[in-house]
A and B are shown apart, each in its own frame.
Chain A
Amino acid sequence: MSPAQSKSVDIAFVLNGQRVNVSVPAYTRLTDVLRDQLQQKDVKVGCNAGDCGACSVLVDGKNVCACLTAVEQVGGTRVDTISGLTTTDPSAKILSNAFLRYGAAQCGICTPGMLVSAIALLRTNPKPTEQEVLDALGGVLCRCTGYRKIIDAVVNATELNEQQNVSDQKVPVAESEGVGASGACFTSRIDANLAQIDGGVGQPIVRLDGLEKVTGRDEFGDDVAPADALVCVVIRSPYHHAGFSFGDLKAYVANHAGVTCVLTSEDIPGINRHGVIPPFQDQPVFAEENARFKGEAVAAIVARAEVLNSELVDAFPISWTELNAHLTTEDARTDGASLVHAQKQGNVLCRGRVKKGEVDAALRQSHCVVEGRYQTDFIEHAYIEPEAGYAKRVGDRLEVFGCTQTPHMNRDSLADILGLPADAIRIAATSTGGGFGSKLDLSYQPYIALAAWVTKQPVRITYTRRESMQSTTKRHPSKMHVRIGANAQGKLTALDFDGEFNTGAYASWGPTVANRVPVHASGPYYLPNYEANTTAIYTHTVPAGAFRGFGVPQAAIAQECLFDQLADKLGIDRLKFRIDNALDNNQETGTGQVFSSSVGIKPCLTSLQSTWDSLSSTVSEFNRYAQAKHEPLRRGIGIASGWYGCGNTSLPNPSCIKAGIKSDGTVCLHQGAVDIGQGSNTVITQMFASALGVDIGSITRLSSDTDITPDAGKTSASRQTFVSGNAARLSGLALRAQILRLSNCDSTSVIEFEPNRIVITDGNAPQQSIDLNELRVDDDGYVLSVAESYDPPTKALDENGQGQPYAIYGYAAHLVELEVDIELGSVKLIGFHAAHDVGKAINPNLIEGQIQGGIAQGIGLALMESFIPARTENLHDYLIPTIGDVPPIQSIIVEVHDEHGPYGAKGLGEHVLIPTAPAILNAIRHACGAQIHHLPATPDKVLSAIQGASA
């Protein structure tokens, strides 16, 4: 510390082995110095509050959060970050390799923090136990992986290094405990070759974009802006509902050196409105008269980075008038309640409905009927990467670089806002540090786009954790009332679902939730009579949008919890009841759709039978003993199913995948299906390689960029493996056909790419070759090229929701074992057994990763997560599972071939968390009788339910 109150002090330290000197205010956060002054972008910032650990660095070998460290505190020390460590530290190299091999990195944003924490552990403890790993990594949050592969990687890193001999492998195959793939076999002309193609369909190869992620080199939304970019800061409403008026904005700009401009709704050249569903677009970029939720944008300051501080932001001239706000759907539906949007009577955004048969009559005639009300809260996506990016104007075009789930949709929305043609805008996706649905909607993009357009200078923005949580979409809070009937033989007779969803202040994906839920609320069961009605209600809260499952996880909670009550009433085993009522081939779904061969729920459920039987007996034995000994622990097992339609509901959602061959023999795949960690970069390439019939190592992948990759649709609705996968397969087949045509070779030929030529070997004929230098080069630089599209076949739903909403459904069933402390109400998860029908496992290792990650989010939904506007706007009041909260997970991969899926594959991403929460709630009830109707099942709620049940 220097006694002189000078703004900046000189501080020297050793960074990754190099001596560095900086001159900055002494209490600047180390993260800011590392990232902004020293361009050390491998140090990630997820929360700026020590809650996520993404910024972990070693200071003299000690693991600390750089965001909580004053740069002065590292003067004279040695600071090591992941990019430095992976080049010099032996433990780091071992761990990077293990992370890659085990699939411990998905989106990769938490990976630097995880690796740094693991390095600190391994330096003194090369072969740690699982508990030691948990304790060492407990300070780093991950939202993608479910942690299990991270644990495996760290526990086994040293051993893997000792054993590994990979020289004979062209494409590394993942390390895994092994998955139980079931037998359904798919044969085709190409399939026979799959095993011969290195990295082809079905092989558990490591992710193709993984190396960057495990070495700190991957670039996310906040890592790409030029150092001199201006910074955009958004001014947001401090109230749930407020009027506002600006002071003298011109004077503010004039009086503050370094402020380039201020932006408000008046500066928008196009329309001040956006939304993901065109007929429902109702969200302004900047609020015009009233702000309708806490955190809504009303203006933005664009300034040079070095002048930006809280004083400057606090001096922004605006006055607020707090107005009466509806925070719940009850408030908004009260008679005479003021309207959130003047034209929306009753504050109803929209309704959804599916009706088959006569529910009321069937329930009246049922042998047994159960009924229940269930409620869930807002759930925050809590990806570790807050929204970030930068924009620049290039002549009359605008380019935006940043995190996103859907570049083309973002481009079209920005075009409307800026009043530009769509082709005047380029969106290039950086790596995206998790999305889960919330990075579908526009968030940061319009502010930097407008700022760059107006100032003609590059402009960057990074949301703080608080503004990310305040302003970006959430999972819809739900209130559900469900009645279910069964006959004396234990067969379902009818299900009636009524759901009210809080859609927040703007529509976002509210209509999708309202439509998807009625289609899915039956669960994957056969119901002769079925009715589901939904209403989406506006309130003065943050918009609810897309979050892994679009409302289906909420509906599954009500339906699956009531199934347990119904089975108990009927005296039928809970798993048997589900198997007996599971939807089968040639049975109608609630929308009247019939699948002849692809319904996979029964195999999922039956795959759990033996585990169910053995756990049933061990659990009851445990409980008998505990009761006899007056011990407070009780164990329980729970089961629940889920299904989910892949792709848009009865709407077109085509994907296009382009590929080309250069004259030097390079095969380029234009892979526009955004990889937000789920693995599309890898599986799309695997499918393309298999279809083309070449090893995956021959393919050069170009990533999502609206100037380069055709529209592969949004990363949403579990559609990329299915829809973009089909497009990739068709592209591969078309390219193969071109080559075979040129060489006049047989369809079973082997194709190899060599410099400037393609060699084709047909078993029965002499080797052929195509001299690529002889072919004409097109505008893209290709001598051969293809672009193939695929759009799933669906049929519109009628006024009763009857039709064919999806070409494909995927199916899932989860079994969980847990322990409840009946005196404290605390729940300890023991293990999951998760069966998923994926049609065909394109990459079993990535599938396991999706299953584990989805289950972790389901655990959060069931046990701890609740976003309360204005109260839980950070990651220490809003809790997501840590590494200590996810138990071992056995993945059971079921393959029931789907005729529409590429190689028979179905989608998976959203399916994985649908059964998790109800399985947990059912296990809690089994353990101790506690029934939770308003999630999450925190210890206080569980204890109160236990006491209610025994009263």
Chain B
Amino acid sequence: MKNVLELEAALQFLADDDVQVLSGGTDYYPALNDATPASFLLNVQSLPELRSIELVGDDWRIGAGVTWSQLINMPMPECFNALKLAAREVGSVQIQNSATIVGNLCNASPAADGVPALLVLNARIELSSVNGVRVVDLSEFITGVRSTVLRSHELVTAILIPNALASDKTEFVKLGSRTYLVISIVMCAVRIRVDDAYRITDAAIAVGACSPVAKRLTELEQLLVGRTCDASLANCVSAEHLSNLSPIDDVRATAEYRLQATRVLLQRMINGFADHATTDASA
């Protein structure tokens, strides 16, 4: 028999005991380093009501139990392109089948594959407890390496994404040292909205693995807004735009390389949007 649990009961367990939450297990088990698993965890997969993606009111609601594969296989509005691209870059099919998007956020790795794409979607995080529900911006949810604002009695129940962004265009790129099963050297996500004259009316840009928490590059976003999405953007990304990133040297790459690669990738993504806009215009 499948284990089925009511959300209310789950929140009560969290209130009563200092219980760790298990989602897909793809971060929990490796972090054990072969140690014995805890004898008691709260298993998010046993909460059926958290396992769906739905449009609720003005927001797309991704439940805490939704796996990357579920997202990949679900028809979604255009703006989810970047998140879907990120989903395909998560580990492997095996990991995508088990791991949840919410689990990726709660694990709060600097190289979390889901964060840049969700940052450009202005994602908000719904935290529930016996005391009620609060919602925080993703940019405030993750506070540092392996650290979030989640309190011990709280459960992340959903990611909320404004449906107002639905027809925006998004892209995502992950750079690593091999093809599959790779922790990124750097990741970039870009969202833009253009009007009928191909003028950029909204832009969001986020970079992962270049700071303790993935960051939006607001200066670059501001520079883009109001510009025409065409070849004039060819050299718009400068080193200064990356000044709030703080990459480190590690086994995957040097800090200096991360900045250089970020600049190249972001410029290419912007050029890609410009090419598409031009192609659309000539079509």
Contact = CB atoms under 8 A, between A and B. Distances in A.
Contacts of B220: none
B225 interface: no
A348 to B, nearest CB: 30
Nearest to A57: B94
A51 interface: yes
Interface stretch (B1-9, B161-169, B206-214): B1-9
Interface in A29-58: 29, 48-51, 53, 56
A466 B34 contact: yes
A826 B3 contact: no
A7 B13 CA distance: 17
Interface string B32-47: 0111111111110110
Interface stretch (B21-29, B118-126, B193-201, B236-244): B21-29
A1 B42 contact: yes
A881 B182 CA distance: 10
Contacts of A48: 29-30, 34
Nearest to A10: B1
Contact of A940 (B5, B39, B257): B257
B2 A139 contact: no
Interface in A130-145: 134-136, 138-141
24 contacts: A1-B5, A26-B43, A48-B29, A48-B34, A49-B30, A50-B91, A68-B26, A68-B28, A68-B30, A69-B98, A70-B22, A136-B93, A140-B92, A141-B181, A309-B36, A864-B177, A872-B251, A876-B181, A883-B179, A885-B179, A939-B175, A939-B177, A939-B253, A943-B260
A932 to B, nearest CB: 14
B261 interface: yes
Contacts of B37: 25, 27-29, 70
B185 interface: yes
Nearest to B9: A3
Nearest to A943: B257
Contacts of A140: 92
B181 A70 contact: no
Contacts of B33: 466
B181 A139 contact: yes
Given A50-B91, A76-B2, A138-B93, A864 B178 contact: yes
Interface bin, chain B: 35 or more
A30 to B, nearest CB: 9
B94 A885 contact: no
A420 interface: no
Interface in B79-112: 88, 91-95, 97-98
Interface string B256-277: 1100110011000000000000
B146 to A, nearest CB: 16
Given A139-B180, A938-B177, A64 B254 contact: no
A883 B261 contact: no
A62 interface: yes
Interface in A904-946: 938-940, 943-944
Contact of A50 (B41, B94, B251): B94
A117 B46 CA distance: 25
Given A3-B13, A466-B34, A939-B185, A77 B2 contact: yes
Chain A facing B: main interface SS: loop
Report the interface size class on chain A.
35 or more
A488 to B, nearest CB: 42
Residue of B29, B92, B252 with most partner-chain A CB within 10 A? B92
A141 B29 CA distance: 19
Contacts of A874: 30
B251 A138 contact: no
Q: Which of B33, B93, B182, B257 has the most CB of A within 10 A?
A: B93
Contact of B29 (A50, A53, A877): A50
B43 A63 contact: no
A72 interface: yes
Interface in A637-680: none
Interface in B53-83: 69
Contacts of B180: 134, 138-139, 882-884
A866 interface: yes
Contacts of A120: 93
B251 A65 contact: no
A65 B36 contact: no
Given A48-B34, A879-B182, A884-B180, A866 B251 contact: yes
B253 A940 contact: yes
A67 interface: yes
B138 interface: no
B35 A310 contact: yes
B183 interface: yes
Nearest to B257: A940
Contacts of A943: 257, 260-261
A311 interface: yes
Contacts of B13: 3
A141 B179 CA distance: 12
Contacts of B179: 134, 138, 882-885
B177 A879 contact: yes
A136 to B, nearest CB: 6
B84 to A, nearest CB: 14
A137 to B, nearest CB: 8
Contacts of A139: 91-95, 180-181
Contacts of B257: 825, 939-940, 943-944
Nearest to B28: A68
Contacts of B182: 879, 882
A29 B45 CA distance: 15
Contacts of A67: 29
A437 B198 CA distance: 61
Given A825-B257, A879-B182, A938-B253, A29 B29 contact: yes
